[in-house]
Amino acid sequence: MIALRDESEIAILREANRIVSDTLVVLAEHVKPGVSTGQLDALAEERIRAAGAVPSFLGYRGYPNSTCISVDEVIVHGIPGARTLCEGQIVSIDVGAYYQGFHGDAALSVACGEVDDLRRRLMDATDRALAAGVQAARAGNYLADVSCAVQQECERAGFSVVRDFVGHGIGREMHEEPQIPNFDTGVRGPLLRDGMVLAIEPMVNAGKPGVKVLRDGWTAVTTDGKPSAHYEHSIVVRNGAPEVLSATPRLVWGQR
Ligand code: MF3
Ligand code: CO
């Protein structure tokens, strides 16, 4: 069953996601060569707690940190640590915050210094794919309309969507029904309606869609070693249309 949230719950979800997007803005501003992913994570934890929230990821199924920081060929679930960023890399930052009983969740990819044309096009296409998915999240559409919109935008640009990970409903738990694939599964899925809260999160590879998870049990990398990008927004279907909960005027993504 997919939970439908009322106005008072949506108000809290806005707050949880505002904490997430504020944290993402601060982290994005700190992405530069020489900075370690562990430093970014520490900064995120500090910000989330200062806002009166708790990092959603910390301790989730034993996950050791407050953020996932996925560099270049790492698709998602990169564990922050001693790795320092280099000029030209794609740095995908994923943040979750638990606030007054509800989770916020969002992610974006940031260029470390100047990136090459392939990486820039990959990031832009993934951002556009998120925007297309968000726009399809309206009452009267089916979930598959979101999935297909995301896939179409990625493949139009010549890139491939990851199949092994999906978006999700979000609310009192970080992962709720429904699962939100970024590709056409051939199943139209549930009809979307007001009050549904969805985390839409395309993970897009420059090369083949294949994924390999490293021995740490988390780090998901491309099988071909080519770069990957990841953008995510939490949205609510409200008055028939998507409202982006994790948007911020300081740094806008997925809202073309
Ligand atoms: N945004 C990711 C997701 O929706 C974050 C999960 S990372 C984890 O699944 F470490 F918490 F698992
Ligand atoms: Co998510």
Q: How far apart are the first and last CA of the chain?
A: 31
DSSP 174: S
Distance 121 CA to ligand 2 centre (A): 23
DSSP 83: P
Distance 2 CA to ligand 1 centre (A): 19
CA of 199, closest atom in ligand 1: 4
- Round to whole Å and give the CA distance between 34 and 172: 37
Dihedral over Cα of 115, 234, 101, 143: its sign: negative
Distance 57 CA to ligand 1 centre (A): 6
Which ligand neighbours the alpha carbon of 66 most closely? 1
CA of 107, closest atom in ligand 1: 1
Ligand 1 test: best mutation among 70, 94, 166, 170, most atoms within 8 Å of CB?
Answer: 94
Distance 167 CA to ligand 2 centre (A): 6
- Round to whole Å and give the CA distance between 164 and 139: 27
Q: What b-and-e string marks burial along 145-172, b requiring 16 or more CB atoms within 10 Å of the CB?
A: bbbbbbbbbbeebebbbbeebbbbbbbe
* Tens-binned pLDDT, residue by residue, of the chain (256 aa): 999 999 999 999 999 999 999 999 999 999 999 999 999 999 999 999 999 999 999 999 999 999 999 999 999 999 999 999 999 999 999 999 999 999 999 999 999 999 999 999 999 999 999 999 999 999 999 999 999 999 999 999 999 999 999 999 999 999 999 999 999 999 999 999 999 999 999 999 999 999 999 999 999 999 999 999 999 999 999 999 999 999 988 889 998 7
Residue 241: CB atoms within 10 Å? 14
pLDDT at 107: 98
Q: What is the pTM of this model?
A: 0.98
Q: Looking only at Cα atoms, what is the longest distance across the chain? A: 48
Domains recognised in the chain with CATH numbers: 7-244 (3.90.230.10)
Here the tokens at position 237 are 């279907």
CA of 65, closest atom in ligand 1: 10
Q: Which residue lies with its CA nearest to atom 4 of ligand 1?
A: 167
**Ligand 1 pocket list (CB less than 6 A):** 57, 60, 63, 68, 77, 94, 96, 105, 107, 168, 199, 232
CB 218 within 8 A of CB 119: no
pLDDT at 80: 98
pLDDT at 201: 98
Q: Which residue lies with its CA nearest to atom 2 of ligand 1?
A: 94
